[in-house]
Structure 1
């Protein structure tokens, strides 16, 4: 019988003493963090603090100089992003990486197209049906699964990018400034979608420059400064003044 209590207590992501050097320059110094399923952790810090570098290490784009990464308790050693994706890690970037001339459903299945029959014909109806169910479940409001990406608003495009990540993620979604280019109304909609990911029991690590957003979305806040982990705070037990002090190194 499966030990559900043990499996449920195992972090979706565990980083232990992760360090990254570029030509002798330390970009990330002995970073430690666990993220549980159904938890949103915000990663904050000034430009150059190492936030995006850390995301790229987890995603397999960079390899750590030392330290250990575990997914669901299993040690992993990624040498490229495809390996992390195969383990259920998905990344949502500010630039989205969507194919503007393609439909929503083709973007969702890009590189993983569903086929049918002995000749491997594209199963367009199957992909459309699966896309429509996903965007409905996540409340991503688009005209249809067949809509072309370039015809969508910024918020709708970001919703599609998050839906794609959600569809393929088994463990973890990494988000690097997912609403930086959006207006207030579209940001609110995307935040609703992100909150909905918690109900799907995914672990979420999000980079955001907006402390208002961080306090709305996160369960915990992790602060980086010049590659060093300054501390981790439960969102409900801290405030913006403390987080700003940790980011800047200056007391208020």
Structure 2
């Protein structure tokens, strides 16, 4: 159970997902999986709304009409299939989404947390419906209160791992900024954690910081490693060593070839 006392819904018969009230009648809304470019790409789900909430959700646009529109990939211009050039109706060349895709997604995102659990977890199916969690676990996870062990069982980063990455990575002595020859840069540590170009955390989580025994608070500025400068330094040292090695061997060879053979072999 989470600290907010939000409990997964069990009896959902005639329950409105928006106002969470039981009604004599509710609208059953089924959302089928759409295509590339849609918030419902390979994701199907369902919800139910009472008359009042259904009418309120439709103000401005009939968002639950489920009209499918098509458009060229990445251009964001969508039209009905009947109006789209027939030679362009090829899956790999077009986006497919609902006419009110964004409005539908925004509405679902604004539902109470226990209703979002139903929409995004319990009622969902399809290739992108990848939670498959126990209802209460899903709610606790969204609130960052699901225990570390359970998070790992589901294959998710735990709140403890996220916090360790956020608090430790930007301040660790082991982290350095790496400047590459193409002008780009990023940050990393020798133990596998990565961050953004300024040494801060990135959008992706690095779980290496959690329980890392090499963490040490940084004193002073973060180290900056220039790829070109470092390459030049190491390559120059290597070549100097090779020259010293070759010149020493050459002197030994010229001084006494038989002794050289005995010492270094054939």
What TM-score, normalized to structure 2?
Answer: 0.23
Higher relative CO (CA 8 A, sep ≥ 6), structure 1 or 2?
A: 1
* Larger-Rg structure: 2
What TM-score, normalized to structure 1?
Answer: 0.24
